Amino acid sequence: MIPKRFTVDGSPPLERHLESVCEQVRDAVLNLIPSWKLDGILLGGGYGRGEGGVLRARDGDQPYNDLEFYVFARGMALLAERKYRGPLHALGEKLTPVAGIEVEFKVLTLEKVRRSKPSMFYYDLAVGHRVLFGDEDHIGMGLASHRRSASQIPLHEATRLLMNRCSGLLFSLERLERAEFGPDESDYVGRNLAKLQLALGDVVLTAYGKYHWSCLERHQRLLKISPSDDLPFLAKVQTHHSAGVEFKLHPVRTTSGREELKSRHQGLSRIAFQVWLWLENRRLGTQFKDTSDYARSIVNKCPEQPAWRNCLIQLRSRNIAGVLSGRYPRQNLLHALCLMLWDPWILAEGPLDGQLQRELRTSAVTLKDLVAAYERLWHRYH
């Protein structure tokens, strides 16, 4: 699929700049990897779907979101990842100043995509991308199984999306508590709050089987959902989603002060907690009442992961307790995230008899150190 534009309403100079960057990326990758070892090079993400962010600056429109490139190598996926990940990462760092935004690469194979279970990531990539190199029909055949319908996206994908966006909320909380809070921290917090606003609506849509690759179409679908006793927070979610869509398409650099952002953070944290419990109760067929109830429950939070695979993962990380539990490590993140974000006494009174430290495999007690321990695990299992 080749969108006509990278953005909805970016200026011609911005569109030409993004086209030039894509050409440079294509040439650089082909200099790094022989063409006969590649099935294709794709631009994904918002710019690949034609809905990239446009930052209105004094000297003209500028890009804002990351540029996400997917290199489809031939051969075994694991070997291709090991061989090309380092060189492509270095290439991304080299091209980032040229692009004006971060350039990222991910190595895939068409065979791996064909064998993969439905996910939000593969659906978004399959239905919205720009082919920079390769035969579009051949690539399309490899992605075809993920194009069928967004209703195939399993509910645990909505949990992963919400976990990742609430992780941004947690990282923002740590920044809001720093002694020094400058423009970079302000922009970071504002950006992550906007991402959460968008995700709240996307989670509801995914739960109802109404997700769509276009954020504009998603918002229209969200507005068509009728209020019910099951969704008492729907109106707030719709309002936040509207703001999230606007930020995604027309981002701004946040300059608000610490106290204003703290207030916004607290308000979004409250609604995020409502959506979290609603989603997890729906997904797991439970009736969790609060944070402690969720975090202390022995219910398997990742039942989609086979126990044998979980044991191997835990064994590789030398977590004997995790091996014995047979649970996927992401469950630790789900518990720790809830405790740090939504339990107001967790840091003041001690981490639930050490539960938080056990979940994060750390002896840390301060917010800064606990968040750092969380982030290390999050990078591995998000």
Output the six-digit token pair for 250: 């027309």
Indicate whether 128 and 58 sit together in one domain.
yes
Report if residue 319 sits inside a domain. Answer: yes
Indicate whether 212 and 325 sit together in one domain.
no
* Predicted local confidence at residue 351, as pLDDT: 65
Position of tokens 């051969």? 75
Report if residue 244 sits inside a domain. Answer: yes
* Predicted local confidence at residue 46, as pLDDT: 96
- The residue among 233, 259, 287 that closes a domain is 287
* Predicted local confidence at residue 356, as pLDDT: 87
Helix (H) or strand (E) holding 6: none
Indicate whether 158 and 129 sit together in one domain.
no
Burial degree of 132 (CB within 10 A; 0-12, 13-18, 19+):
buried
Radius of gyration for the chain, computed over Cα atoms and rounded to the nearest angstrom:
21
Position of tokens 């294709």? 40
Indicate whether 180 and 105 sit together in one domain.
no
Q: Angle at CA 45, nearest 5°, toward 143 and 42?
A: 50
- The residue among 148, 167, 198 that closes a domain is 148
Mapped onto helix, strand or coil, the DSSP state of residue 327 is: coil
* CA quadruple 209, 221, 15, 61: dihedral sign: negative
Report if residue 169 sits inside a domain. Answer: yes
Mapped onto helix, strand or coil, the DSSP state of residue 323 is: helix
Indicate whether 253 and 327 sit together in one domain.
no
Domain that holds residue 65: 12-148
| DSSP 8-state class, residue 366 | S
CATH code, domain with 55: 3.30.460.10
Indicate whether 244 and 144 sit together in one domain.
no
Indicate whether 135 and 168 sit together in one domain.
no
Report if residue 7 sits inside a domain. Answer: no
CATH code, domain with 182: 1.20.120
Burial degree of 130 (CB within 10 A; 0-12, 13-18, 19+):
buried
Rounded distance between C-alpha atoms, residue 200 and residue 267, angstroms: 13
Q: Is the pTM of this model over 0.85?
A: yes
* Predicted local confidence at residue 232, as pLDDT: 92
Output the six-digit token pair for 365: 């007690």
> With the CA atoms of 19, 25, 28 and 31 taken in that order, what torsion angle do they form, in degrees rounded to the nearest 10?
-90
* Predicted local confidence at residue 24, as pLDDT: 98
* Predicted local confidence at residue 311, as pLDDT: 66
Indicate whether 233 and 326 sit together in one domain.
no
3-state secondary structure 208-222: CCCCCCCHHHHHHHH
Indicate whether 187 and 113 sit together in one domain.
no
- Is 206:155 a contact under the CB 8 Å cutoff? yes
Q: What is the pLDDT along the chain (382 residues), one digit of tens a residue?
A: 445 899 999 999 999 999 999 999 999 999 999 999 999 999 999 999 999 999 999 999 999 989 999 999 999 988 999 999 999 999 999 999 999 999 999 999 999 999 999 999 999 999 999 999 999 999 988 898 877 778 889 999 999 999 999 999 999 999 999 999 999 999 999 999 999 999 999 999 999 999 999 999 999 999 999 888 789 999 999 999 999 999 999 999 999 999 999 999 999 999 999 999 999 999 999 999 998 899 989 999 888 876 666 567 666 666 656 555 667 778 999 999 999 999 866 666 666 668 888 888 889 888 899 999 999 999 988 8
Report if residue 2 sits inside a domain. Answer: no
Indicate whether 102 and 165 sit together in one domain.
no
Indicate whether 192 and 66 sit together in one domain.
no
Report if residue 17 sits inside a domain. Answer: yes
Rounded distance between C-alpha atoms, residue 220 and residue 295, angstroms: 35
Indicate whether 274 and 176 sit together in one domain.
yes
Report if residue 173 sits inside a domain. Answer: yes
Report if residue 5 sits inside a domain. Answer: no
* Predicted local confidence at residue 179, as pLDDT: 92
Helices (H) and strands (E) in the chain, counts: 17, 6
Beta bridge partners of 69: 43, 105
Please give the tally of structural domains in the chain.
3
* Predicted local confidence at residue 140, as pLDDT: 87
- The residue among 125, 148, 171 that closes a domain is 148
